[in-house]
């Protein structure tokens, strides 16, 4: 049985003070185990403070990216080891904003994934198609390329214990959520693709949905058989809406 997980992705939002208030509210109210694991992926600079405020709580801390190399002359990057040292257990890799706005290729994302796994972080590997790609019937080709780059670089066994987030690009921040059926179809496809290589890993793999998840649509999405929780952007910036989504599993 897969335990659901709901992860907040704060993106580039908030101040030190607003981050403190948000995690204190989340940490305080997340004492109830409503059946889901909970995580927050925060801007790099807030990680030390957020980690220390959440120390001893059940809320996991994560980054929104991770370097594709272990250490060295890579200006602007933050290594998996550094993230671990400051209390991260999760690391988003391949978010569509990184892919589209910062040109991150499938190969680069696969290297980032490899570094995260190598250091014992749990990568949250984001995959998903644009509206154009969906309309051209290319959704599964895109998912295959995004997934296979990681499988080919790190090997199928590296997917043991990681999280895959299906985030249709057209649903992110747009208020246009995928229907439960649209999301389920792709989640099932991802699981089957992994099952083609290793059934045990595929059965245990947590595949979460992201893209305009809100308190009023979360329960229906999360009730689908292959949807194991969510990656939440906008609605994770407010403690009550985030926790209401967490407890919609």
Binding positions for ligand PGA, rule: CB under 6 A: 9, 167, 172-173, 210-213, 231-235
Q: Which position among 119, 129, 167, 187 bears the catalytic label?
A: 167
Least spacing, CB of residue 195 vs ligand PGA, in Å: 25
Q: Among candidates 111, 112, 114, 65, which has minimal Cα distance to 88?
A: 65
Nearer to ligand PGA by Cβ, of 211 and 229: the residue is 211
Alpha-carbon Rg of the chain, whole angstroms?
A: 17
On the CB side of 89, CA atoms within 13 Å amount to 15
Give CA separation, 129 vs 13, 20, 159, 213, in Å: 25, 34, 21, 17
Nearer to ligand PGA by Cβ, of 94 and 211: the residue is 211
Nearer to ligand PGA by Cβ, of 201 and 233: the residue is 233
Q: How far apart are CA 38 and CA 217, in angstroms?
A: 18
Bridge partners, residue 15, by sequence: none
Nearer to ligand PGA by Cβ, of 96 and 201: the residue is 96
Least spacing, CB of residue 22 vs ligand PGA, in Å: 15
The residue nearest ligand PGA at its CB is 233
Strands (E), the chain: 5-9, 37-41, 59-63, 90-93, 122-127, 163-166, 206-210, 229-232
Q: Which position among 95, 104, 111, 119 bears the catalytic label?
A: 95
φ and ψ at residue 135, rounded to 5 degrees: -65, -25
Nearer to ligand PGA by Cβ, of 167 and 226: the residue is 167
Least spacing, CB of residue 210 vs ligand PGA, in Å: 4
Are 238 and 214 spatial neighbours (Cβ–Cβ below 8 Å)?
no
Which residues does 174 contact at the CB level (< 8 Å), separation at least 6? 211, 212
Are 119 and 88 spatial neighbours (Cβ–Cβ below 8 Å)?
no
Are 240 and 23 spatial neighbours (Cβ–Cβ below 8 Å)?
no
Structure tokens at 41: 């992926």
Are 239 and 25 spatial neighbours (Cβ–Cβ below 8 Å)?
yes
Least spacing, CB of residue 178 vs ligand PGA, in Å: 11
**Residue 111 known to be catalytic:** no
Least spacing, CB of residue 236 vs ligand PGA, in Å: 7
**Residue 167 known to be catalytic:** yes
Q: Could you give the residue numbers annotated as active site?
A: 95, 167
């Amino acid at each position: 049985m897969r335990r659901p997980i709901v992860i907040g992705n704060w993106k580039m939002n908030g101040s030190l003070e607003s981050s403190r208030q948000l995690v204190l509210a989340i940490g305080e109210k997340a004492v109830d185990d409503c059946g889901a694991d909970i995580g927050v992926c925060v801007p790099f600079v807030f990680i030390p403070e957020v980690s220390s405020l959440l120390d001893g709580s059940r809320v996991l801390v994560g980054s929104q990216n991770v370097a594709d190399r272990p250490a060295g002359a890579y200006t602007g990057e933050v290594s998996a080891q550094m993230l671990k040292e400051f209390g991260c257990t999760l690391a988003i890799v391949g978010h569509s904003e990184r892919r589209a706005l910062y040109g991150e290729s499938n190969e680069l994302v696969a290297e980032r994934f490899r570094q995260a796994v190598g250091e014992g972080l749990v990568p949250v590997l984001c995959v998903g198609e644009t509206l154009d790609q969906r309309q051209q019937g290319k959704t599964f080709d895109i998912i295959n390329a995004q997934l296979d780059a990681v499988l080919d670089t790190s090997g199928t066994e590296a997917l043991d214990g990681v999280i895959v987030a299906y985030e249709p690009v057209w649903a992110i921040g747009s208020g246009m959520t995928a229907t439960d059926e649209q999301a389920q179809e792709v989640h099932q496809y991802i699981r089957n693709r992994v099952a083609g290589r290793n059934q045990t890993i595929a059965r245990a793999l947590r595949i979460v949905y992201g893209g305009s998840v809100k308190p009023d649509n979360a329960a229906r999405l999360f009730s689908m058989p292959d949807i194991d929780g969510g990656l939440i952007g906008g609605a994770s910036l407010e403690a009550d809406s985030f926790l209401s989504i967490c407890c919609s599993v």
